[in-house]
A = this chain, B = another copy of it.
């Protein structure tokens, strides 16, 4: 559920989106594309949440900008993005950020 990322620095792709009413094939596409994303060299993990009828946020982590660029150029990814713009997404933002520090908390009980 949490991405098991290493010590910083590394990179985060923050993808925030709202969906259209047309979710046909969306979940089937995600089942195909997420394992492919994980095969990208330099991929470190992904965290994802979508509120019912609200915003979705997916953060994918990579060890370098080259890894992000490699995934950007992946043809299956480009096909999925085109379908996303044509059908599933009302709007989205993609922000690429360099993670500089990280902290975590875990309940002991």
Query: Which residues of A approach B to under 8 Å, CB–CB?
Result: 1-2, 5, 8, 12, 14, 16, 18, 20, 47-52, 54-57, 59, 85, 89-107
Top 4 A-B residue pairs of the complex, sorted by shortest distance between their CB atoms: A97-B97, A49-B49, A57-B57, A97-B99
Point out the residues of chain B lying under 8 angstroms from A56, CB to CB: 49
Number of copies of chain A assembled together: 2
A16, closest chain B residue (CB): B47
**Of all chain B residues, which has the CB nearest A101?**
B96
* B14/A14 in contact, CB under 8 A: yes
Q: Is the CB of A103 within 8 A of B94?
A: yes
Across the interface, do B107 and A91 meet the contact criterion of CB distance under 8 Å?
Answer: yes
The verdict on A95 contacting B2 (CB below 8 Å), with A47-B57, A48-B55, A50-B49 known, is no
- Could you write out 13 A-B pairs with CB less than 8 Å apart? A2-B93, A12-B97, A14-B99, A49-B57, A85-B105, A92-B104, A93-B102, A94-B104, A95-B101, A96-B99, A96-B101, A97-B97, A98-B98
